[in-house]
Structure 1
Amino acid sequence: MINMPKFIIDEQTIKDIQLKDLNGRSVFDFFDETITEGAHYFLKEWFYDPIINKQSIEERQIKIRRLEPLAQEDFPFHRVILKDIEKFVKASHSGATASLSLLDFLGIQSPIYYYKKRNILETTEFLLQSHIFYKKINAVQHYDDVQVMIDKIQSYLSKVFKNGDYDVEKLKVNIFNIETYERMIRYEFSNVIKEAIKFFYEIDALLAVAKVSRRNGFSYPVLHEKNSTGKIKMTGLYHIFHKNPVRNDVELSQEKRLWFLTGANMAGKSSIIKSISAAVYLTHIGFPVPADTLETDIIDGLFTSVNLQDNLELGYSHFYVEAIRLKEIMDQIEPSSNALVILDELFKGTNHSDASQAILEVMRYLDEIKGPFVIVSSHITELSEQLKSFPSIAFMKMKIDGDEEGLPVFTYKITQGIAEERLGMWLLKRSGVFESLNKLVPKN
């Protein structure tokens, strides 16, 4: 068996960009509007298994997009009912699925009779509503996989509703035909029904993503094979967690694949790099992205170093934890990789002089490595003069405007250049810390 290449990502990156549940908020949860438990697991399997096959990604995009026109349709199925149907179809000849007793034929109907009747009606209703919904999909545009499922369900419905009147309320299940209906569901059509349930879970998962996409106006990335264009280009990019997001245009290229991103505290550096990394990840699971457009080559990996913690048990300082994290990332990257690597506030765990020297040396190596896209954010703008000699470096900054009184106005927009603002004292004054300190000063 040939091992297919995989999109490379690690747990620290998943944590950094909040792909998993983090304090009750994650990118996965944002998309998870599934109705059924089975669909939830389908969605989870897709979400945490990014791929680097262009055709597979585009096929998933198509499956999601085809449901957007129906995203506001009622989907009248419930989590519990689907689980009951699945259990009924798979049930063995024991317990609740045992044969009816003589008392049932005498009109004293048992719990077994009611259990069977309820599941027959619910299974038929499920198949009928699925049949109607899938026909709506194909009325917009024909899809072979949907038509196959329509035909399979049709074979069951034609057998049950012999007069062609597909109305569950007219399905008269009674003591004389209940065993016949049960055999049809649990034997004759059991494989069809199991396939229909699995297909429904997939549709439910896809529809959840389609609903989120349609409601938020997301777009579907345009993909090229790895290294075809050497670019990652996004317009109108924002982060899904922002209620009133500022949209940004972003372009990384192999010619200028190493960004040195500067900006004052609170200017939005962390936000923009999380927006970029989340969009790249969503692209590689075939999901729509929070942007007007996104066009990229297939990227073979994503690594971030954002939210690192001191390791007190091992006695590691924050600087050493940063160094270890950088080594972890580089050890996972192959020489031919075009992965996206994001290093937020690199080496903030040491003094200014040490950090400057360390960043300069790391950037020297990164400039010589051909392939990966790298974003290094830093507040040490003095390095810019020395970094200008590195040919692959692009200087980017978070733009800050001034108001009529000369006070800073955060635009949260990214632009070319080097940040020159010094806002530390302004932020301290704004926080009110000096007033608090003044209260503690002894008064003569």
Structure 2
Amino acid sequence: MSFLTDKQSLEDLNLLGKYKSNSIYSLFNKTKTSGGEKLLEALFQTPLSDADQINDRSSVFNYFHQQHLVFPFQRENVEAAESYLNEGEEGNFILSVIGILQKKVGNMVLQSAEYGVLLKGLQSMVDLLQDAATFFGQLKQSGDHPFQDKLDKTKLIFKDQRIINLLTEKRIEELSVLKIARYNYLLRSALCKEMRLLFEVLYELDMYIAVSDVARSRGMGYAKALPATKCLLKASGLKHPVLEKAIANSISLNQQENVLFLTGANMAGKSTWMKTIGASIYLAHLGMPLAADSFEFSVMEGIYSSINVPDNLNMGYSHFYAEVLRVKEVAQKVSERKNLLVLFDELFKGTNVKDAYDATLAVSEAFAAYTNCLFVISTHIIEVGEALKERCENIQFKYQPTVMDGLVPRYTYQLKDGITNDRQGMMIIENERILEIIDGSK
């Protein structure tokens, strides 16, 4: 079973994008190698759908979170060493000797650069092995995470007497051709599988350490995944992972209360809270750290959102029609009885108030009946909430208040029970003196 989402949801939640401003991926991408970066990118694109796998991965991140390790390798050095290995395996030791002799003669007679390139590559590999031997010696033994077996296999590489001998070498260029050939054959052929394992583990370590460093510096925690049958999301002290000064809130949804109906004035924080919930659930399915004091969730089959739905001029779609098509698309997924998290921010804001009221009420009530899904629905049409109170028992109502400091609104971003009665729109317009500006232009 794969985790379902789409481009619209990924963009709404700003999850992906190496160069995208404030994306969740860019927050965690502090890797030092291209291999580590590729692993992190692949991880971000493949959320897990099994509770045990999620908890196993979380335990690995948490292990490195506690270790306070520094990844001692630089991108250029690692790439140079891997490039040396990738130049090809030596068929046997004799062929290795012959090949190196030919390169050395070519260097002496024809001033060929091949011999120098080989020496440089071999030296970079030796330097990396020396640093790796020191680094792996610092890793504490722990059987509490599934990555330990891979670490143990990698550590065995440095107990091989041939590697021990190699680690004593300082300047490869000063060695005899025979010794260079022996080391060249050892790394490219005799221990080729072990060297591949070493690079694989180094890239994983790069990713794990980079992510856990971000988590530690930001005081993040780790989620506990439960089987999909639980239909649960329970978190305390939950914040948006990117916002350093975000206000923490709590959430508790289950099959008996599977809909959070959120009200509040514009700028009160509704959209940010919805993005916080969506991004955190996505990170939880990756087994990655998230900004919460505690976070418990049942595995879901996907996330769909409607937060920043654009119009489509090429297709001739108005903003309202684009919203309608988006709701229809999500409704089709929900009707398939999949366990989904659905986020709807300000439904049908592209039409008149009467239609928006009727449509938001009807759609919210219809979705609420699918108790295998969790929904967060926001609106500033507070009358919808009052009507839903009378019709549905499985909806919880929260709002984010606006506090007036005289004539100036202030937003606490703290969730409160109930439905807001804040109506400061006209006051804000008056504060900005828009009508005076218009009158003055006559």
After TM superposition, the score normalised by the length of structure 2 is 0.90
Contact 1:61–1:287 (Cα < 8 Å) also in 2: yes
Distance in 2 separating the partners of 1:153 and 1:61? 28
Q: CA deviation at 1:251?
A: 1.3
Cα 1:189/1:423, change in 2 over 3 Å:
same
Deviations 1:163-219 (A, max 9, x none): xx9445377634342111111111111111111111111111111111111111110
Counterpart-to-counterpart distance in 2, 1:395 and 1:93: 65
Indicate whether 1:151 and 2:156 are aligned. yes
Deviation at 1:414, TM superposition (A): 1.2
Partner AA of 1:146 in structure 2 = L
- Measured at CA, do residues 139 and 356 of structure 1 come closer, stay the same or move farther in structure 2, by a change above 3 Å? same
Task: Quote the residue 1:223 is aligned against.
Answer: 225
Deviation string 1:341-367 (CA, Å, 9 cap, x unpaired) is: 000000001000001111111122123
| 1:130 counterpart (122, 129, 132) | 132
Match of 1:197 among 196, 199, 207: 199
Cα deviation code 1:278-302 (max 9, x no counterpart):
0000000010101111111112211
Q: How many angstroms apart in 1 are the aligned matches of 2:387 and 2:441?
A: 44
In structure 2, what is the Cα distance between the partners aligned to 1:24 and 1:408? Answer: 28
Q: Give the match for residue 281 of structure 1.
A: 282
What is the rounded CA distance, in whole Å, between the counterparts of 1:235 and 1:168 in structure 2? 54
Please tell me whether residue 343 in structure 1 is matched to residue 344 in structure 2: yes
The partner residue of 1:161 within 153, 161, 164 is 164
Once residues 109 and 186 of structure 2 are traced to their aligned partners in structure 1, the CA distance between those partners, rounded to angstroms, is 24
User: Within 1, Cα distance between the matches of 2:248 and 2:115?
Assistant: 60
Q: Specify whether residues 93 and 344 from structure 1 end up closer, same or farther in structure 2 by C-alpha distance, changes over 3 A only.
A: closer
User: 2:89–2:189: 8 Å Cα contact kept in structure 1?
Assistant: no
In the alignment, structure 1 residue 379 sits paired with structure 2 residue 372: no
The farther-off stretch of 331-340 and 115-124 is 331-340
Supply the distance in 2 between the matched residues of 1:431 and 1:37 (Cα, whole angstroms).
50
- In structure 2, relative to structure 1, the CA distance for the partners of 1:265 and 1:103 (3 Å cut) is same
Q: Helix, strand or coil: the match of 1:333?
A: helix
Aligned to 2:175: 173
Partners of 1:432 and 1:30 lie apart in 2 by 39
Structure 2: segments with no counterpart, 5+ residues? 91-95
Q: Matched residue pairs, number? A: 428
Correspondence list, 1:405-424, <5 A? 405=406, 407-424=408-425
Assess if the C-alpha contact under 8 Å between 2:8 and 2:305 holds in 1: yes
Please give the TM-score of this superposition, normalised by the length of structure 1.
Answer: 0.90
- Aligned-partner Cα distance in 2 for 1:267–1:219: 26
Name the residue aligned to 1:430: 431
> 2:7 corresponds to which residue?
11
Residue aligning to 1:55:
52
Does the C-alpha gap of structure 1 residues 261 and 100 become closer, same or farther in structure 2, counting only changes over 3 Å? same
SS at match of 1:396: strand
Distance 1:29 1:6 in 2: 24
Instruction: Indicate the residue corresponding to 1:38 in structure 2.
Output: 35
Greater shift in the superposed pair: 168-177 or 62-71 = 168-177
CA contact (8 A) 2:126 2:167 kept: no
Are the counterparts in 2 of residues 138 and 146 from structure 1 also a CA contact under 8 Å? no
- Alpha-carbon separation, structure 1, partners of 2:282 and 2:108: 63
Structure 1 position 328, deviation (Å) = 0.9
Amino acid at match of 1:379: H
Q: Which amino acid aligns with 1:223?
A: A
Aligned CA distance change for structure 1 residues 345 and 63 (closer, same or farther; 3 Å)? same
1:89 is paired with a residue whose SS is helix
Q: By how many angstroms is 1:75 displaced?
A: 2.4
Alpha-carbon distance change, 215 to 373 in structure 1, aligned in 2, over 3 angstroms: same
Contact 2:220 2:292 in 1 (8 A): yes
Q: Is the 8 A contact 2:262 2:376 kept in 1?
A: yes
SS in 1 for 2:428: helix
Question: In the TM superposition, what is the alpha-carbon distance from 1:369 to its structure 2 partner?
Answer: 2.2
Post-superposition Cα deviations, 1:208-265, rounded to whole Å, max 9, x if no partner, equal 111111111110001211123x321111111123231111111112211112211001
CA distance in 2, matches of 1:93, 1:290: 46
Gaps of 5+ in 1: none
1:288-437 equivalence runs, <5 A: 288-333=289-334, 335-388=336-389, 389-403=391-405, 405=406, 407-437=408-438
Tell me by how many angstroms 1:55 deviates.
Answer: 1.2
The 1:149/1:23 distance shift into structure 2, 3 A limit, reads closer
* Shift in CA distance, 188/330, structure 1 to aligned 2, threshold 3 Å: same
CA contact (8 A) 1:260 1:394 kept: yes
RMSD over aligned Cα, in angstroms? 2.4
Matched to 1:214, the amino acid is: R
Amino acid at match of 1:196: L
Contact map agreement 1:335 1:371 (CA 8 A) in 2: no
Instruction: State the alpha-carbon separation in 1 of the partners of residues 358 and 43 from structure 2.
Output: 42
